[in-house]
Amino acid sequence: MTTTPKHDERVANLTFASVYPHYLTKVEKKGRTKAELHLVIEWLTSFNDNKLQELIDDKVTFKTFFEKAKLNPNAKLIKGVICGYRIKDIETQLTREVRYLDKLVDELSKGRKMEKILRTT
């Protein structure tokens, strides 16, 4: 299933600050920590805690969030289905990048080992 232009636009205009609390709640409910969530986000985007907080405070959209990010070269190793979409089939780069983040958060909340989430082994 591919995304539609309307879907891609909606994803681009979502603010990271509006989604971040949901990521945090999701991982904490499953016994993971804010520090682990931040580690996963930093691995994908290169944003440290201070930069992440600045982006949250500035209420940047996902479009701006990923324009500022330095995506990890191993992000292409993130595979599978998230939100009903097979990641490799998502043609719009921004939507694919947002789904990379969603997939990492999902893996974290499901108890996957950090070295697997960060694609180090």
Domains of the chain: 5-113 (1.10.8.290)
pLDDT tens column, 70-113: 999 999 999 999 888 899 999 999 999 999 999 999 999 999 99
What does each C-alpha distance from 97 to 27, 29, 33, 87, 91 come to in angstroms? 19, 24, 23, 9, 10
More confident residue, 53 or 2: 53
Give the pLDDT mean for 12-18. Answer: 97
User: What single-letter DSSP state applies at residue 87?
Assistant: G
The amino acid at residue 53 is: Q
Q: What is the value of pTM for the model shown?
A: 0.94
The amino acid at residue 52 is: L
One DSSP character per residue, 13-81 reads HSBHHHHHHHHHHHHHHTT--HHHHHHHHHHHH---HHHHHHHHHTT-BHHHHHHH----GGGGG--SE
Q: Is the pLDDT of residue 13 over 70?
A: yes
Residues whose CB falls within 8 Å of the CB of residue 101, separated by 6 or more in sequence, listed in order: 41, 44, 45
